[in-house]
Chain A
Amino acid sequence: MTVLFGVFLLSLLVITAIAIVRTENLFVAVMLMGIASLLIAANFFILDAADVALTEAAVGAGISTVLFLSALALTSERERSPTSRKLLSFTVVVVAALVVIYATFDKPRFGDPEAPAQTHVAPWYLEKTPEYIDIPNVVTAVLGSYRAYDTLGEVFVVFTAGVGVLFLLGPGTGAAGQRTGPTDPGAGLRHHLIPRVVGRVLIPFILLFGLYVQFHGEYGPGGGFQAGALIAAAIVLYALLEGERQALRVLPERLLVGLMAGGALLYAGVGIAGMALGGNFLDYSVLAGNPVKGQQLGILLIEAGVGITVTGTLLGIFHAFAARER
């Protein structure tokens, strides 16, 4: 059954990908990218990778679509006519695709118990997590503790991306602040009653769900990346409804930059605190009297750092796009 669903979803994914390549309307392409993300998220889910599925759905299908759309508002709706080098790019794509397809022949069979991923460190993680960290979700244990260096790197990648976008587009508070009146793009949907009422009802629940995903990561699918995207989505919805200026009044640009840097600092600070208390960098066992409690505390803190940085970065990028003069 899983294979059948997988084949069905992947065929839809291929169809969507071809449609993305073929369309010349960029709005359509953005919407199709959202659909592609949702399809791959569903595929992750039937492979029992609930954490990855949640991330893909929240970031790929949710926030990226909004960011793409706000970027599109600055450019034209149509794709620029293709340049001449068609044959060359076609050849490159075909060769690359053939190489990738050739490489898949060496991959282990789906679900093969002898596959390197199954025989290397994974059994150790599954066996030792109850003993060392004592949380039910092994994915969070791997992500937050065993592979904490990788996650730290990811957080800094997110942070760097946010700083890069802000450098390119500049903090745009000035442009949105000057326009007034009912046609003001900064005023949001204040004159549209239905979206506004429903949105106001939904925003608290989205925020609550974001916090649940943030702090329930030790027990179920979730964690800082997903929660950051959800909380950012709630505030983007608020910005769409009440106008961007109102959203910036709640969370000013300076605070967002602070969140971006603060989350990454919190993460690295937890690592340095471990060193100061006599352990290694990002070794949480020394953070509390009991090593297991220390691990749990460390994971909670670094997940909070991840969530803060992701929220700050996504909102910073959104405002940088939205506030820019057309």
Chain B
Amino acid sequence: MDTVLDILSWFLLVAGGCSVLIGGIGAVRMPDLYTRMHAASVTDSLGSILVIVGVMLQAGLSLAAIKLGAILLFLLLTGPTASNALASAALLAGTRPFAELPEEPEDAR
């Protein structure tokens, strides 16, 4: 049983690490603010869920697991809210999405 939990938790941790890495690469490589935020949200949501659930499996049924759950809940509440606030602030400040500029087909109008 312990081995199964260990393997599962390591799988989650590695997957979480990978998604954080992907999010980081995306945040650097994407062309504009909105797509960068989209990439960073992989770190924000998927990465944190995978890593914290992985650590929770390591902690077992204990106070630490409950604390980790509380942290996860807090992250899941605040992360998307911060992204929403950031995106709407950028939109209000007049940052246009990158994809809007080129390729507007002539015959579409």
Verify that A and B bind, or say they do not: yes
Counting chain B residues whose Cβ lies within 8 A of the other chain, the interface size class is: under 10
**Of residues B74, B78, B85, B88, which shows the largest number of chain A Cβ atoms within 10 Å of its Cβ?**
B85
Counting chain A residues whose Cβ lies within 8 A of the other chain, the interface size class is: under 10
**Complex contact A198–B88 (CB within 8 A):** no
For residue B50, give the distance in angstroms from its CB to the closest CB of chain A: 20
* In the complex, A194 has a CB within 8 A of chain B: yes
Residues of B within 8 A of A202 (CB): 74, 77-78
- The residue in chain B whose Cβ has the minimal distance to the Cβ of A193 is B84
A9→B81 CA distance, assembly (Å): 28
A199→B84 CA distance, assembly (Å): 13
**Complex contact B88–A192 (CB within 8 A):** yes
For residue B17, give the distance in angstroms from its CB to the closest CB of chain A: 14
- The residue in chain B whose Cβ has the minimal distance to the Cβ of A197 is B81
* In the complex, A195 has a CB within 8 A of chain B: yes
For residue A155, give the distance in angstroms from its CB to the closest CB of chain B: 30
A198→B81 CA distance, assembly (Å): 7
Contact indicator per residue, chain B 61-104, by CB within 8 Å of chain A (1) or not (0): 00000000000001001100100110010000000000000000
Residues of A within 8 A of B88 (CB): 192
A214→B81 CA distance, assembly (Å): 28
What total of A-B pairs shows CB separation below 8 Å? 17
For residue A82, give the distance in angstroms from its CB to the closest CB of chain B: 27
**Complex contact A195–B77 (CB within 8 A):** no
- The residue in chain B whose Cβ has the minimal distance to the Cβ of A196 is B81
Contact indicator per residue, chain B 6-29, by CB within 8 Å of chain A (1) or not (0): 000000000000000000000000
- The residue in chain A whose Cβ has the minimal distance to the Cβ of B70 is A205
* In the complex, A201 has a CB within 8 A of chain B: yes
**Complex contact A201–B84 (CB within 8 A):** no
Within 8 A of B (CB), among A182-238: 189, 192, 194-195, 198-199, 201-202
A114→B88 CA distance, assembly (Å): 57
**Complex contact A201–B85 (CB within 8 A):** no
Residues of B within 8 A of A192 (CB): 85, 88
For residue A169, give the distance in angstroms from its CB to the closest CB of chain B: 25
- The residue in chain B whose Cβ has the minimal distance to the Cβ of A189 is B85
A201→B85 CA distance, assembly (Å): 16
A195→B84 CA distance, assembly (Å): 8
Residues of A within 8 A of B81 (CB): 194-195, 198-199
Residues of A within 8 A of B77 (CB): 198, 201-202
Residues of A within 8 A of B78 (CB): 198, 202
Residues of B within 8 A of A189 (CB): 85
Within 8 A of A (CB), among B32-82: 74, 77-78, 81
- The residue in chain B whose Cβ has the minimal distance to the Cβ of A201 is B77
A198→B76 CA distance, assembly (Å): 11
A199→B78 CA distance, assembly (Å): 8
Residues of B within 8 A of A195 (CB): 81, 84-85
Of all A-B residue pairs in the complex, the 3 with the closest CB atoms, nearest first, are A198-B81, A194-B84, A195-B85
Residues of B at under 8 Å CB distance from A? Answer: 74, 77-78, 81, 84-85, 88
Q: 10 A-B pairs, CB-CB below 8 angstroms?
A: A192-B85, A194-B84, A195-B81, A195-B84, A195-B85, A198-B78, A198-B81, A199-B81, A201-B77, A202-B74
